[in-house]
Amino acid sequence: METRDVPDVHEVDALYDQISSQPVDEEQLTFCLVWDAATLIGCGGFEPLFEQTATIEEYGAAFARIGMPEAEGFFAQIAATVPSDLRAGGRENELLQHLASRFEELKNLSYEFYEVTSAWPAALLRYVHAHQEHFPSV
C-alpha cells in the first residue's frame, strides 16, 4: 500500500483480508472488531454479533477507540436487551429465541446505529493512518 494522507477503502479492505485471521496487537484487533461489527450489522443487524467470539462490549469499545464513542452506547443498549446468562454461552437456542422475540427493537437499533455511525469507514481509515506502524504495507 502506498503511503498517502489516508489509505482508500479498497486498500483497507485488502488490509482486512491480510490481518483478520490473526491480528497481532491491540490496534489490529480494534480494526478487525470495527470492520467485523459494521459488516455483520449491515448484513444482518445486531443478532449475528452474538454468534462471534468477541463480546458486544468489545465491539463497542473498539468503535470508541477509532473515535466513535457514540457507537459504544448502541452496543450497551444491545447488551442490555439480552440477559447475561444467555450471552455466557451454552444456551444458543434460548439466545436465538430471545433475539427473535426482540427482532423489531433490534432492527430499529441497527437502523439508528447506521444513521449515527455512517462515517465509520472514514473513522476507520483515519485510525489506520494514525497507527500506520501497526499495519503492514500502509
| pLDDT tens figures, 56-84 | 999 999 999 999 999 999 999 999 999 98
Question: pLDDT tens for residues 18-45?
Answer: 999 999 999 999 999 999 999 999 888 8
28 within a domain of the structure (yes/no)? yes
1 within a domain of the structure (yes/no)? no
17 within a domain of the structure (yes/no)? no
Banded model confidence at residue 5, pLDDT cuts 50, 70, 90? low
Higher-scoring residue by pLDDT: 80, 13: 80
Count of the separate structural domains present in the chain: 1
27 within a domain of the structure (yes/no)? yes
pLDDT at 29: 97
pTM of the predicted model, to two decimals?
0.87
pLDDT at 9: 67
End-to-end C-alpha distance for the chain, whole angstroms:
5
13 within a domain of the structure (yes/no)? no
Range of the domain at 106: 22-134
